[in-house]
Amino acid sequence: MPQDPVPGLLIRATELLEQQFAALPAAGPAFESAADPGAMARILEGVARRLGDNYPYFHPLYAGQMLKPPHPVARAAYALAMTINPNNHARDGGRASSEMEIEAVGGIAGIFGWSEFLGHLTSSGTLANLEALWVAGQLAPGKRILGSEQAHYTHQRISAVLKLDYAPIAADHCGRMSMDALETELRKGDVGTVVVTLGSTAIGAVDPLDEVLALRERYGFRVHVDGAYGGYFRLISEALAEPARRAFAAISQADSIVIDPHKHGLQPFGCGCILFRDPSVGRFYKHDSPYTYFTSTQLHLHPSEKKSLAGDPVHLGEISLECSRAGAAAVALWATQQLLPLVPGGEFARGLAHGRTAALNLDRKLREDRTGRFQPLAAGAPQLDIVVWKLKAETSEQSSELAQKVFDACAARDLHLALVQLPLKWFEPATGLEPESLAAKGAGLVTCLRSVLMKPEHEAWLDRIWERLTASCDEVMGK
């Protein structure tokens, strides 16, 4: 592992924090065990050994799932905040961390051009999406939710929990929501919300948000953007292919947006974020709990009188379905955004661009490989920074078996990829075969190899990743 700067960073910061409370009378440790550093050291050594039974998520040779190591300043700020363990459910549970949350969320909203909004952090993207669909159900009771069949599975699960009708919409050969299939459902006149995915979990597909918004003008429905994985790419949207660029350019017109700072945002788990363009949806959260302190008048104003949340003394428990939430997550996010502002062309944005370049380069190598063993998606280059490919074989079953074997051989070489099942037709859109013929050929789903190149250092490590991948294929498939 690289030398960890966090312990050194924490020493001075912890001393400064302790000085803030120096006027308090001395108090002994709450537990006798806390006065026994030797015992705690032995326990922590055991923890360290147990944690070694993990993939090396922090290393650039881990290129499988959406696991990006937190920035050192985020880890340090989180650990520092845990000294006092603030709770951002109520303002008196975390005055400083609540202010930091409001400022940090304002920074995220700024990515999408929003200055007037309602938003807060959550413990996950799942909870953030739940809040978005809950508000959607409040605004359009009894109406259906639609989302791409490639949308995250939690949307259908969340809709079931909220007792909202949910219907999946077919995806095209690029993994994006089919507009023809969507309009067919919209014509039924019972749709309240369409979930648009900007960066699907499987392949990083970007739904055509601009086209969905055009349909909204005709049919009238809410648009919720699930940008849990892909939302930050708004900062480098000019570097994306034209369809994705148009989608990200239209994001400010969405009704709600979810983004996960614990994915591309360099944050520890769990840190999600929900944003609503119309602050007046805060009325659905209103409650009369006797534990409410420092309440905000903003939630009870007419929309025309509302101002930006930034700087307003909002009690975050009034605009969240969750109660207790880690204030340390807000502190870590705030610190990271202070060091790496969320602006186009900044260091944070350049990190996203490095990962995307790595994905494009890996995809190019797969397509140009002279052995002909690799079959990337027929639709073309990755839309964001996820690369997917199948291994050529006579049947999908054989291809799936090869994928598992290559996955294992790569892991033995310390290269960690992921496996995903995708429609076989996505790899053969030009065959001209009818669906029945494809089924007879063994079509359906095929297990593929998948790589999420979201670490900035993946670009510099790509040649070493390629060496291990091809060596693993030589072992499994022969040269």
Q: Give residue 226's pLDDT band: very low, low, confident or very high (50, 70, 90).
A: very high
Q: Give residue 303's pLDDT band: very low, low, confident or very high (50, 70, 90).
A: very low
Q: Is the pLDDT of residue 294 over 50?
A: no
The confidence score (pLDDT) of residue 31 equals 80
Domain ranges of the chain: 91-339, 347-477
The confidence score (pLDDT) of residue 63 equals 97
Q: What is the CATH number of domain 91-339?
A: 3.40.640.10
Question: What's the whole-model pTM score?
Answer: 0.91
Count other Cβ atoms within 10 Å, centred on residue 369: 16
Express each pLDDT in 63-96 by its tens digit.
Answer: 999 999 999 999 999 999 999 999 998 878 899 9
Burial status of residue 56 (CB atoms within 10 A of its CB: 0-12, 13-18, 19 or more): middle
242-271 b/e with 16+ CB inside 10 Å = b?
Answer: ebbbbbbebbebbbbbbbbbbbbbbbbebb
**Spatial strand order in the sheet of 118-122:** 118-122, 272-276, 256-259, 222-227, 191-197, 144-148, 166-169
Q: What is the mean pLDDT of residues 55-64?
A: 96
Does residue 478 contact residue 421 with C-beta atoms inside 8 Å?
no
Query: What residues have CB less than 8 Å from 474, skipping those under 6 apart?
Result: none
Burial status of residue 205 (CB atoms within 10 A of its CB: 0-12, 13-18, 19 or more): buried
Alpha carbons 124 and 334: distance in angstroms, whole number:
17
The beta strands (E) that lie in 315-425 are given as: 374-376, 386-391, 418-423
3-class state of residue 41 by DSSP:
helix
Q: What is the chain's mean pLDDT, rounded?
A: 90
Please state, in angstroms and as integers, the Cα–Cα distance from residue 147 to each residue in 171, 196, 232, following that order.
Answer: 10, 6, 21
Express each pLDDT in 4-48 by its tens digit.
Answer: 888 888 998 988 998 998 899 988 777 878 778 899 999 999 999
CATH fold of the domain at 347-477:
Aspartate Aminotransferase, domain 1 (3.90.1150)
